[in-house]
């Protein structure tokens, strides 16, 4: 059966499932009384948030709240013609999530190979494509290698799928991750949380929001994490953030935020590469995984980062119809690496190890002015959004980059090597200076009671000052939304993604002959159509999509290796996510994505990979989840999820494959009163059955899986 036939069958099956469950939910809602409001929260399609919500989400109230989709204006997820997933701080805390993989474990389209308590080296994938666009309160921050963003200060994390061109300008087409920081609450409150992770990793977190007069409020978060993680890594991490809100009368509001994190991860497991592994001699299999992490770490290796963010904004409510917002933000991510890497060689588990010493300082400056309002022309209502801004990124790198085969080893034998050299972390002058000057406008036209059309355009002047590379481009967004009833949206959309010219990397293994050359900018395209449905008992989203992206291929010329742009990557897929309240106490969730990805339009020299599947693009990812409020035990709720990751190819030639695997996680929360003080006990077990697996990511990376580990926290709110 061909890829196209499989894709068609998967699409038809998903449509039938959504149609049937929608009809079932509508029928059951007519014969059964609506459940209490507090039991419906998991069923709501969450709002795309800009500011933190004061209370837990509930079905109707949460969907009615205005929220920001940036250049598209205030919309709910139900009214957005794209796929969006939001995970708020309540759910993150409930599941004890620390990594991006754990945060989005219930979204089958979002995947990260990086385990918790490790340096997130090659980042996240959305719909099989790498994510290189990360934002914190709209301020760009490079997070796809060298670490996650501190969750303690975050109110929510959003995965935006395919929105990057119009929303953010030059970026990769897979999507974006957007963090929203915690803001002051309407009432004073303080939460103190203490945590433990096996074997000896301890944490404390204070989150306090206070009112300083009638118009001034402050929220502060301070957290620390110290000790030994399940993977033998030594963790030393401290976080502090402050958010200030000031209201000037009824029309003007000022917000400002400061965040700082220091993180040092010592002796973590080696980062493996498996693209050069001898699959032919190994029967296509990777070595059996061992969770004796001490065998494959270098005790005195480390990766140190410092993260800083400062932002401020003024919001002016001009009148009932118009609002003006001015934002300014600055972020910095500093890196110092004495980290260990290795090329896995054979089925016996042998590897060649390298120490990697370098330092980097990555700065981002962001400023934006946005006007939003409503007008009526004849019988049509318009939601208008317009704005302009500047993004500037400056990179500084160390004078020394050290990469050498300092050690060798085997997965099943303890690694005795210790690094003895002193890295040179002094920084050279600015090596990269990228600027985006842009303007955007969008119009959501209400064509009657049930039909909406969205038209948007973003104009970007892109410049790389260090190479004198310049390009001007316009990125359109077009969409139609049909709402037969208020809780159902049927949509179709078209968006584009702009990717700047890629510089061929220095120091690759083996090296590129054209290292340092700048490849041209490219345009990616996405078409998506889908259905979103939300009722008191069922929330479902179904999306069919196609993404086209220019490909990069290694090419050999007279034995020399070149990185070139050639051919096209095409990702066709269907995505289904659904939550259903089966009883007053039991909520069930499921999600699946089927991906039919191919390499097309290559030259004769690369004809061998025509029609192959791109690396790191599994055909299937499936997830199921449940949470159950235990009757008779006030405050006790248990939850769990099962996630299947399909098999993936390591390289575009499809010569090696990482096997699929299924992982189960479970946990509970218990609210109880002790001597007049309400406490919340949270317990989670990740990888309950201790499944042993390999996980692969970008650029040939491969990670030993995350062993079963335990999380226990106790929180008190005052």
Residue 619: its pLDDT value, please?
Answer: 97
Higher-pLDDT residue of 403, 431:
403
- Of these ranges, 45-49, 183-187, 503-507, the one predicted with the greatest mean pLDDT is 183-187
Residue 47: its pLDDT value, please?
Answer: 39
Q: Are 574 and 591 in contact (CB under 8 A)?
A: no
> pTM surpassing 0.85?
yes
β-sheet bridge partners, residue 390: 367, 437
Asked whether residue 386 carries a pLDDT value surpassing 70, the answer given is yes
Q: Are 245 and 212 in contact (CB under 8 A)?
A: no
| Tokens (6 digits) for 166 | 């119009």
Q: Which residues of 217-247 are buried (b: 16+ CB within 10 A; e: fewer)?
A: bebbbbbbbebbbbbbbbbebebbbbbbbbe
Cis amide bond preceding 199, omega within 30: yes
Asked whether residue 18 carries a pLDDT value surpassing 70, the answer given is no
Residue 15: its pLDDT value, please?
Answer: 39
Report the distance separating Cα 695 and Cα 148, nearest Å.
18
Query: Confidence band (pLDDT; 50, 70, 90) for 163?
Result: low
Higher-pLDDT residue of 502, 175:
175
Residue 559: its pLDDT value, please?
Answer: 82
Q: Which helix (H) or strand (E) holds 470?
A: strand 469-482
Higher-pLDDT residue of 419, 559:
419
Q: What is the mean pLDDT of residues 106-128?
A: 92
Asked whether residue 2 carries a pLDDT value surpassing 70, the answer given is no
Helix residue spans in 105-177 (DSSP H): 164-168
Asked whether residue 105 carries a pLDDT value surpassing 80, the answer given is yes
Asked whether residue 27 carries a pLDDT value surpassing 50, the answer given is no
pLDDT, tens digit (0-9, with 9 covering 90-100), for 667-710: 999 999 999 999 999 999 999 999 999 999 888 899 999 999 99
Asked whether residue 49 carries a pLDDT value surpassing 50, the answer given is no
- 216: CATH: 2.40.170.20
β-sheet bridge partners, residue 141: none
| Tokens (6 digits) for 704 | 């030993």
Q: Determine how β-strand 216-228 pairs with β-strand 451-464.
A: unpaired
Q: Which residues, including other chains, have CB under 8 Å from residue 8's CB and lie 6 or more apart?
A: none
Residue 471: its pLDDT value, please?
Answer: 86
Distance (Å) of CA 65 to CA 51, 78, 163, 449: 11, 12, 22, 20
Residue 75: its pLDDT value, please?
Answer: 82
Q: Are 227 and 247 in contact (CB under 8 A)?
A: no
Per the structure, the count of domains in the chain is 1
For the chain, how long is the longest CA-to-CA vector?
Answer: 78
Q: Are 268 and 696 in contact (CB under 8 A)?
A: no
β-sheet bridge partners, residue 562: 555
The closest alpha carbon to 241, from 162, 153, 361, 118, belongs to: 153
Phi first, then psi, for residue 707 (nearest 5°) are -65, 165
Report the distance separating Cα 715 and Cα 97, nearest Å.
15
Residue 58: its pLDDT value, please?
Answer: 34
Query: Confidence band (pLDDT; 50, 70, 90) for 39?
Result: very low
String of DSSP letters for 326-382: EEEEEEEEEEEEEEEEEEE-STT-EEEEEEEEEEEEEEEEEEEEEEEEEEEETTEEE
Q: What is the mean pLDDT of residues 272-286?
A: 94
Rg (CA), the chain: 25
β-sheet bridge partners, residue 359: 336
Residue 577: its pLDDT value, please?
Answer: 95
β-sheet bridge partners, residue 669: 637, 682
The closest alpha carbon to 717, from 209, 157, 39, belongs to: 209
Residue 131: its pLDDT value, please?
Answer: 87
Q: What is the DSSP letter of 170?
A: B
Cα three-residue angle 659-97-53, rounded to 5 degrees: 135
Residue 68: its pLDDT value, please?
Answer: 58
Within the chain, how many helices (H) and strands (E) appear? 5, 36
pLDDT, tens digit (0-9, with 9 covering 90-100), for 440-470: 999 999 999 999 999 999 999 999 887 778 8
* 3-state percent helix, strand, coil for the chain, nearest multiple of 5: 10, 55, 35
Q: Which domain holds residue 541?
A: 3-717
The closest alpha carbon to 444, from 488, 469, 477, belongs to: 477
Q: Which residues, including other chains, have CB under 8 Å from residue 184's CB and lie 6 or more apart?
A: 209, 210, 211, 217, 218, 219, 243, 244, 245
Asked whether residue 11 carries a pLDDT value surpassing 80, the answer given is no
pLDDT, tens digit (0-9, with 9 covering 90-100), for 185-197: 999 999 999 999 9
Q: Which residues of 65-101 are buried (b: 16+ CB within 10 A; e: fewer)?
A: eebbbbbbbbbbbbbbbbbbbbbbbbbbbbbbbbbbb
pLDDT, tens digit (0-9, with 9 covering 90-100), for 244-270: 999 999 999 999 999 999 999 999 999
pLDDT, tens digit (0-9, with 9 covering 90-100), for 511-556: 788 887 778 778 889 999 999 998 878 999 999 999 999 888 878 8
The closest alpha carbon to 405, from 340, 464, 354, belongs to: 354
């Amino acid at each position: 059966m061909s890829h196209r036939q499989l894709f068609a069958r998967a699409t038809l099956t998903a449509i039938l499932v959504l149609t049937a469950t929608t009809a079932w939910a509508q029928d059951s809602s007519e014969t059964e009384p609506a459940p209490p409001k507090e039991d419906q929260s998991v069923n709501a399609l969450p709002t795309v948030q800009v500011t933190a919500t004061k209370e837990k989400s509930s079905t109707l109230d949460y969907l009615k709240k205005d929220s920001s989709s940036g250049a598209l204006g205030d919309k709910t997820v139900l009214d957005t013609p794209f796929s969006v997933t939001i995970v708020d701080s309540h759910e993150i805390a409930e599941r004890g999530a620390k990594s991006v993989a754990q945060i989005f474990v219930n979204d089958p389209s979002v995947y990260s190979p990086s385990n918790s308590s490790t340096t997130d080296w090659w980042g996240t994938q959305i719909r099989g494509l790498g994510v290189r666009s990360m934002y914190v309160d709209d301020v760009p921050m490079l997070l796809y290698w060298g670490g996650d963003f501190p969750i303690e200060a975050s109110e929510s994390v959003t995965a935006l799928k395919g929105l990057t061109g119009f929303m953010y300008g030059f970026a990769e087409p897979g999507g974006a991750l957007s963090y929203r920081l915690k803001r002051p609450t309407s009432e004073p409150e303080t939460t103190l949380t203490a945590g433990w992770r096996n074997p000896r990793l301890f944490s404390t977190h204070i989150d306090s929001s206070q009112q300083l007069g009638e118009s001034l409020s402050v929220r502060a978060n301070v957290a620390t994490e110290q000790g030994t993680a399940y993977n033998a890594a030594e963790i030393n991490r401290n976080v502090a953030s402050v958010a200030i809100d000031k209201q000037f009368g009824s029309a003007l509001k000022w917000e400002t935020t400061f965040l700082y994190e220091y993180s040092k991860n010592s002796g973590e497991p080696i980062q493996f590469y498996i693209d050069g592994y001898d699959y032919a001699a190994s029967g296509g299999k990777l070595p059996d995984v061992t969770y004796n992490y001490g065998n494959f770490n270098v005790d005195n290796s480390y990766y140190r980062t410092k993260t800083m963010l400062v932002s401020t904004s003024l919001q002016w409510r001009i009148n009932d119809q118009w609002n003006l917002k001015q934002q300014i933000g600055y972020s910095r991510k500093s890196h110092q690496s004495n980290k260990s890497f290795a090329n896995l060689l054979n089925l016996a588990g042998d590897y060649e190890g390298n120490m990697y010493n370098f330092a980097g300082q990555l700065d981002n400056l962001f400023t934006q002015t946005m006007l939003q309002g409503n007008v009526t022309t004849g019988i049509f209502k318009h939601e208008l959004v317009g704005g302009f801004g500047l993004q500037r990124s400056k990179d500084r790198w160390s004078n020394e980059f050290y990469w050498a085969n300092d050690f060798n080893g085997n997965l099943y034998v303890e690694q005795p090597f210790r690094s003895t050299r002193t890295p040179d972390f002094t920084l050279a002058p600015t090596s990269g200076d990228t600027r985006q000057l842009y303007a955007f406008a969008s119009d959501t036209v209400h064509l009657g009671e049930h039909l909406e059309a969205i038209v948007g355009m973003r104009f970007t002047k892109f410049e790389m000052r260090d190479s004198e590379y310049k390009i001007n481009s316009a990125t359109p967004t077009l969409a139609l939304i049909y709402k037969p009833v208020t809780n159902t949206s049927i949509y179709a959309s078209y968006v584009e993604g702009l990717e700047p010219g890629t510089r061929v990397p220095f120091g690759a293994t083996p090296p590129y002959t054209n290292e340092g050359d700048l490849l041209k900018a490219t345009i990616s395209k996405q078409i998506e159509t889908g259905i979103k449905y939300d009722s008191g008992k069922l929330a479902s989203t179904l999306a069919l999509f196609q993404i086209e992206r220019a490909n990069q291929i290694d090419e050999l010329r007279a034995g020399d290796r070149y990185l070139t742009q050639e051919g096209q990557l095409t990702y066709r897929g269907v995505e289904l996510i659904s939550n259903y309240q089966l009883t007053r106490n039991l909520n069930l969730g499921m999600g699946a994505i089927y991906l039919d990805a191919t390499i097309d339009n290559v030259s004769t020299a690369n004809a061998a990979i025509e029609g192959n599947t791109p690396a790191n693009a599994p055909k299937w990812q499936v997830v199921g989840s449940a949470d159950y409020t235990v009757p008779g035990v006030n405050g006790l709720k248990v939850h769990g999820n099962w996630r299947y990751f399909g098999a993936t190819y390591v390289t575009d030639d499809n010569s090696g494959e990482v096997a699929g695997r299924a992982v189960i996680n479970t946990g509970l929360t218990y609210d109880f009163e002790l001597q007049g003080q309400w406490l919340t006990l949270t317990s989670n077990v990740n990888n309950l059955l201790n499944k042993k697996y390999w996980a692969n990511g970008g650029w040939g990376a491969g990670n030993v899986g995350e062993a079963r580990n335990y999380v226990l926290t106790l929180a008190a709110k005052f």
